[in-house]
Structure 1
Amino acid sequence: MLPNHRPIVVAEEFAVLTALHGERFDLGLGRSLGFTQPVREALGTLQARPREFAAAIEEVREYLTGAGNITIRPADTGRIPLFVLGTVTGLQIAAELGLPAVVGGPLLTSGPEAFDAYRSEFRPSSQQAEPYLIVSAEIFVAESPSEARALAVPEAWAMAQSRLTGSFPPLLPTTSLPAQRTSRQDRYVAQALATVIAGTEDQVVSEISELLKRTGADEIMSTASTFDVAALYASDARLARAVATL
C-alpha cells in the first residue's frame, strides 16, 4: 500500500529481497490508506490522490531501474516486475504507466468497461509491451457446493466484523460462528461472499471460464482463505486438477 511507505524504502526492501533470494518476487503497489480506521490513524496517512499514487509508482520504478536521482543499494538486483493493484482508477494508472494490473472484489461484478479501457488506453513500457490483466478471486472447491461455500464463510464473517468493529478478528470454524446475526452483519457477509467462486470442480471451471470471458483476464489468482487449513489445501489441490483442463 504505497501511500503508507516512501518509494525509496519500498524499492530498497525489494532490492534486498531479490539480492538475497533471486528473481522470484513481484511487487504489487496499491493505493489503500489502510484496512480499518484505527490502522489509518496509526499510520497517519490522510489521503492518497490518484496523481500522487501514479507519481510514487514512477518513483519506485526509477529507483529499481537505476533512473532515479539516488542510487539504491543493492543496485544491481535484476528485474523486479511491478503490478498495480487497482480499482477503476488503478486500471487507468496502470494503462498510463504501461504496467500489468491486478483487480478483484466488487469490480469483478461490474461490466467490462473498465477492463476494455485498460486495454485500449495501455501505453507500452520497457517492462510490459502489451496490457496484462490478473483477476484475483477467492476460489473454493469441494465435494459438494454446500461444502465449498462453507469454506468461504469464516473469511466473510471476519470481513463483516472488521467493517463493524474496525478490527479484523482471527478466523473461526463455521460451527463457532453465531447463529443469530443482525441485518447489518448478514448484509456484510453477503457482500463478502458475492464474488466468491465455490462449488464442485465442474461448477468452478464453468465460473472461471465465464469470469475469463467477461473480463478478458490473462491470468486468475486464487486468494482463498479459511479456518481449516487442511480443507484449504484439499480445495487448492482440487482446483489445480480442475483448471488443468482449461
Structure 2
Amino acid sequence: MPLSLLDLAQVGPGETVAASLRHSEDLARLADDSGYRRLWYAEHHNMAAIASSAPAVLIAHMAAITTRIRLGAGGVMLPNHSPLTIAEQFGTLAELYPGRIDLGLGRAPGGDRATFAALRRDPAAAESFPRDVVELQRYLRGVPQESGVVATPGAGTDVPLYILGSSLFGAQLAAYLGLPYAFASHFAPAALEQAIALYRTEFRPAPTLDGGETEPYLIVAAGVIADDDEAVALEQAHVTKRQRAKHLFARGRRLTDAEADDLLAGPVGRQVEEMMHHAAVGTPARVRAQIADFASATGADEVMLAPMAPDRRVWLGTATHLAP
C-alpha cells in the first residue's frame, strides 16, 4: 500500500511562520529519504495557524531540496484562480521538475467570504468548477482552446490532475472525468463510504495521451499521531482536539485550555470526534495496524497520512515511525 504525506504547514502556538516552514523542510527531506510516494500541501487563506496559502511556492521550494518524491497541491482551490494561471504555475513546476508534480483540485474557497472578496473572486465561481477543471486539463495537454490562448509554460506537460472532495459532488465529478479521487477523510469523513461507492460505480475511463484509458484510483486521508510512548500519543491527540475546538468554535474569542476542554465535554466534542473518526493514534505498531485496517475497509489504492501532533518532535517522529 503506497503511503503519502499531507503537510498542513501548521503554525503552532508561539511559533513563527518561518519556523513552521523550516519544519516543513524537515518533513520534505524525511519523506524524500523514507520512501513516501508523494507530499502534498493544501491551499488555505486567512488562517493564522496554517502557512500554506501559496502551494505552488511551497512545492517549488520543496522540490528544490528533494530529489525523488512527488510534490503537489492537495489541493489548489480552483474557484480562487483562473485555470490559465494554475496551468502556467504548475506547468512551470513540471518543466523544472519533470515527473514529480501533482495537481489536486478542490471546489471549496479555502477561506471565509471576506477572504474570497479579498482574492477578488465571486462565490459563484464555485459553480463553474467542473468546466474550469476541463479547461485547465486542456491547457496542460496543449489542446487548442477556442480563444487561441496557450499556457506557456504548461502546454504539453499533462500534469496529473486529482479531484479532491469530502462530498458526493467531487466523487461524481472525478468519476465522470475519469480522474483519480482523493477523499478528505482526515477532517470530514461523514460521506466517505457513499462517495467511494459512487466513484467506483460511475467511473468512466478517459483516454490518455499514450492511447490508453484511465482507471479508478482512490486516495483516502487519515490523521496520524504515533509515539513509542502511547500516553504521549494520546495526550497529543487531546491537545489536537483542544486546538480544533479553539479554532473552529471560539466564535472570535480567545479560549483558554480549560474553556476549550469544557467545549469538548459537550456537543462540540462530539463534532470534533466525528472529524477525527479515522485518525490513527498510539504506538507505531498500533497506528500501522489502524492504517492497514482503514485501507482494507475502503479498498483504497493509496493512503495519505496527515501528521497532527502539535509537538514538533512527535509530529516529525510520526512520519519517521510510519515510513514505508
Whether the TM-score (by the shorter chain) exceeds 0.5 is yes
**Cα gap change, 1:111 to 1:178, in 2 (>3 Å):** closer
Gaps of 5+ in 2: 1-76
Shift of the alpha carbon at 1:92? 0.5
In the alignment, is residue 227 of structure 1 matched against residue 310 of structure 2?
A: yes
SS at match of 1:227: coil
Aligned pairs (5 A) from 1:2-151: 2-43=78-119, 44-47=121-124, 49=126, 52-69=128-145, 70-75=149-154, 78-86=157-165, 87-105=167-185, 108-110=189-191, 112-127=193-208, 129-151=214-236
- Asked whether the 8 Å contact 1:3–1:32 carries over to 2, the reply is yes
Shift of the alpha carbon at 1:207? 1.7
Q: For residues 26-71 of structure 1, what are the alpha-carbon distances to aligned partners after superposition, in whole Å with 9 as ceiling and x for unaligned? A: 0010000233344234334323555x21111000000000114121
Q: What does residue 173 of structure 1 align with?
A: none
Partner AA of 1:46 in structure 2: P
- Asked whether the 8 Å contact 1:33–1:48 carries over to 2, the reply is no
**Cα gap change, 1:138 to 1:111, in 2 (>3 Å):** closer
Q: What does residue 294 of structure 2 align with?
A: 211
CA distance in 1 between partners of 2:290 and 2:280 (Å): 7
- Asked whether the 8 Å contact 2:168–2:194 carries over to 1, the reply is no
What is the RMSD of the two structures over their aligned residues, measured on CA atoms?
Answer: 2.7
Partner AA of 2:206 in structure 1: S
- Asked whether the 8 Å contact 1:149–1:199 carries over to 2, the reply is yes
SS at match of 2:220: strand
Aligned pairs (5 A) from 1:119-198: 119-127=200-208, 129-165=214-250, 178-180=257-259, 181-182=262-263, 183=266, 186-198=269-281
**Cα gap change, 1:89 to 1:75, in 2 (>3 Å):** closer
CA distance in 2 between partners of 1:42 and 1:111 (Å): 32
Q: What is the percent sequence identity of the aligned residues?
A: 31
Partner AA of 1:202 in structure 2: A
As a proportion of its length, which structure holds more helix?
Answer: 1
Aligned residues: 233
Q: For residues 164-215 of structure 1, what are the alpha-carbon distances to aligned partners after superposition, in whole Å with 9 as ceiling and x for unaligned? A: 3578x9xxxxxx9613333465445434433311112332223222211221
Partner AA of 1:25 in structure 2: I
